[in-house]
Amino acid sequence: MARGAASAPRWAVLVRRFTDHLVHDFGGGPRPWKLAWVIDAQKAGTVLFLAALMGYYRNTSVAAWLYLAMHGSYGLAWLIKDLAFPDPGWQVRVTIGGGVNAFLGVLGWYWVFGWLLISGTARPDYPLPDPAWFCLCVSLCILGCAIMIASDAQKFFTLRLRRALITDGMHRLVRHPNYLGECLVYGSFALMVWHWLPALVLAWVWVGVFAVNMTLKEASMARYPEWAAYRARSWWLVPYVF
């Protein structure tokens, strides 16, 4: 008998229930906005926030401009993606407290990355010469954006036509390519800043949010008859690694 979503590990269910309460239901009361609106506001505001930091701290270094281009452009690319093919999971309405928690308690930490670099609080001593390191960071950011957007597009348009397990295209080798793309993008930001705090934030998000979501998603996908064969020939997140 095929397994269903009820077979999800209890630890993942409990963590998801806790995080959902924080960003969906915290404080109770009216639900004036969708979670997507909160996320889009943070993404769209990133380029303005980083530009304001550069003006306030009078930092026009190459690293600051590159970080503005990387993180700011990613935010705008996300906004275009959400307008073109919105994620149904973000359309839920949330309480005022939940929206504030999502904006400041989760997404707001990503703005701290730019502040660390542009304010001079982080003074990175990169392992490679600056041009080589910047090349690495920009390459990871572009690659991550492409993987994330392409996999989200495939999922959105495929599921509009048929409700089935997606095992081709971006999902042929990796079962969660959208999360791989996100990891590459935010990993590139952390590498640009080269400070312990972004590493700590990403560890918390990747383990407490991404890994939980992927675990629950796999428990749900296990209801399909072809799941066992697909899982045997694909990787969880990184092709040919794990």
Q: Give me the residue label for tokens 């590139």.
A: 188
What percent of the chain has pLDDT above 90? 95
* Rounded distance between C-alpha atoms, residue 178 and residue 29, angstroms: 33
Give the phi and the psi of residue 123 in degrees, each rounded to 5: -120, 80
Every domain of the chain and the residues it spans: 5-233
Lowest mean per-residue pLDDT among 91-95, 104-108, 116-120, 179-183: 104-108
User: What pLDDT shows up at residue 129?
Assistant: 98
Rounded average pLDDT over 29-39? 97
Three-state DSSP class for residue 33: strand
Residue 94, beta-bridge partner list: 33
Whether the pLDDT of residue 4 is over 50: the answer is no
Strands 33-34 and 93-94, how do they pair? antiparallel
For the entire predicted model, the pTM comes to: 0.94
CB 44, CB 79: distance < 8 Å: yes
